Amino acid sequence: MVTSIDVVRAAVADSTSRMRVAWLCATVLFLEAYDIVAMGYAVPALVEAWRLPPGAFTAALAAGNVGILLGSLAGGMLGDRLGRKPVLIACVIIFGIGSLAMALAASPAQLAALRLLTGIGLGGGIPMVIALAADCASLSAPGRLVVATIAAVPSGFAVGGFLAAALIGSFGWRAIFLIGGAAPLMLSPLLALLLPESPAFRTRALRRSRVASLFQGDLRSSTPLVWAINFLSLLTTYLILLWTPAVLHAAGASSFQAALALSIYSIGGIAGCLSLAAVVDRFGIERMLTLSLALWMLTLLAIGQLDTRPWQLVVLLLGAGLAGSSQGGINALSGLIYPPPVRATGVGWAIALGRAGAIGGPLLGGLVLARGFGGRQIFTAAALSACGATVLMGILAYRRRARRAVDELSP
């Protein structure tokens, strides 16, 4: 006979397990975010140490994005076939070893090869984290756990930048990669001991996940929209992250002020993710993401078109970061929109298509400047990209709401 005490105990155990999953997955994302930004902070120190021009490290910077794209594609499909936990642990070990090896690199070519390896581990881990968090989330509030977990990404960007700068100043560029490699390798035994396997994966028969499954039934229209939204959102994000310091520096800001401005943007992203997690299940994830993307577009447009004072620019950057946290919600939506048998594959491919946008963002910024436009037009271009993501998210929200209405009316 099941008593009320047994029910309470089961609920507490289930809640504790979900929180453990959230903290462990958030830690992985934090370390991945640190590793992603660490390379950008290491390049100036490498230029000075190796006496090479900045262009010599272009291949290393590009290799990281290519690795993340490849890792997302492969990791997603493997996660649906082999289980989220073993693939996640393998990816954490791969990017830990890759980062440690980068500390021993002696040439830009070695750095690029190791960065590709590191990127594969990073890219494979992200869809595993999102899929596992979505699998373990409460049925009554599925979006809250996933979005809150993803808040670790802007946290890693913000803290990682300051930590990388401090490490370079005290110990040199190699320390960045030593810390970035040692931390995930120390975390991997904890993941093996404490992280549960996805309940959705445990309770179903092993199936071969195919990409074609992402275009069956209701997903036929949702998948292209999710891919396009990810592409435009990450194009906007990386256009801002990689060009804002240079634009502000050219406008007269010091290097410290430019870095501080980017940190303000990241702090806004942390607050935005946590705020979105608090309301996403109450008002609907698609509706909240549409509003957030629209606010992102407006703040970026204001930065690009208005002649703002310094304090006004800080407010706008904070607002842009707050609204730009919608990328975390988009990742969460990718995890929630697909059923468990193809969830990791769906998230992996959405992230991979988004990574193509991350590669295109810096190129778009360079094209804007090459055409003779000023730094403010960078933000205008970002606003146009955010506008496209807003429209597509609105279409996705309308279609999914219409589908749910039909399902409710069906006998």
pLDDT (tens digit per residue) in 205-223: 445 557 778 888 878 888 9
Q: Which of 37-51, 172-186, 203-217, 320-334 has the lowest mean pLDDT?
A: 203-217
Provide the pLDDT for residue 172.
Answer: 85
pLDDT at 189 over 70: yes
- Burial classification of residue 249, based on how many CB atoms lie within 10 Å of its CB (0-12 exposed, 13-18 middle, 19 or more buried): middle
Domains of the chain: 7-193 (1.20.1250.20), 209-411 (1.20.1250.20)
CA 50 to chain centre: 31
Provide the pLDDT for residue 6.
Answer: 36
pLDDT at 204 over 80: no
Provide the pLDDT for residue 8.
Answer: 33
Reported as a pLDDT band with limits 50, 70 and 90, residue 2 is very low
Percent pLDDT > 70 in the chain is 85
Q: Which span out of 126-130, 163-167, 250-254, 339-343 was modeled with the highest average pLDDT?
A: 126-130
Provide the pLDDT for residue 247.
Answer: 65
Provide the pLDDT for residue 389.
Answer: 94
Task: Quickly list H helices, 51-173.
Answer: 58-82, 84-102, 108-136, 142-150, 152-171
Reported as a pLDDT band with limits 50, 70 and 90, residue 203 is low
Tens digits of per-residue pLDDT, 274-317? Answer: 888 888 878 888 889 999 999 999 998 988 887 767 667 778 88
Provide the pLDDT for residue 12.
Answer: 37
- Give every CB contact of residue 168 below 8 A, 6+ residues apart in sequence: 41, 42, 45, 175, 176
pLDDT at 121 over 70: yes
- Euclidean distance between the first and the last CA atom of the chain, given in angstroms as a whole number: 34
Distance CA 145, CA 157 (A): 20
CB crowding 3-23: b at 16 or more within 10 Å, else e: eeeeeeeeeeeeeeebeebbe
Whole-model pTM: value is 0.81
- Give every CB contact of residue 170 below 8 A, 6+ residues apart in sequence: none
Tens digits of per-residue pLDDT, 21-36? Answer: 889 999 999 999 888 8
